[in-house]
Amino acid sequence: GVQFDRYGALWVRGVELLRTTTPEPSKEGIEWHVSKDVTDYAWLFREAGEVALTIPNIVNVNYTGKLHVNISLSFYVVDPDAAAPGPREPPVERTVLPLRNLTGSGDPFGAIAVSGALGQVN
């Protein structure tokens, strides 16, 4: 189908891990792959939590593209006996705090708005 420039984001426990846009349509159909190293967010996966994906979409007579999305995360266990590839610093524990509570019923993209004569982002 036809669909243009749909943007989306993936949150885990209220922290945005990915922001993306859909590719342009083609006659052959669309398939794309996104990879991201989320090692810095490892603490997010230590306990259960909500995962949310939002890609606002409109389907009508002009925009006929329907989205089918598969999200998967791959976790790799490091062999403690394996030799390190080189000198490494000890891991630093990081804390990333969500800027918005996404557990409510609101649209997470609703926090982004354009208004005013100069089109300020609020």
Map out the domains of the chain as residue ranges: 1-79+92-122
CA atoms of 80 and 100, how far apart (whole Å): 37
Say which residues have a Cβ less than 8 Å from residue 21's Cβ, sequence separation at least 6: 5, 6, 7, 8
3-state secondary structure (DSSP) of residue 75 = coil
- List own/partner pairs for 35-42 with CB under 8 A and 24 or more apart: 38/73, 40/94, 40/96, 41/12, 41/15, 41/17, 41/94, 41/96
Q: What is the pLDDT along the chain (122 residues), one digit of tens a residue?
A: 677 778 888 988 888 899 988 887 777 877 888 888 888 888 888 889 888 888 888 788 887 777 888 888 887 777 777 766 666 566 666 666 666 665 555 555 655 544 555 544 44
pTM of the model: 0.62
Structure confidence at residue 120 (pLDDT): 45
Specify the pLDDT at position 21: 85
Q: What is the pLDDT of residue 105?
A: 53
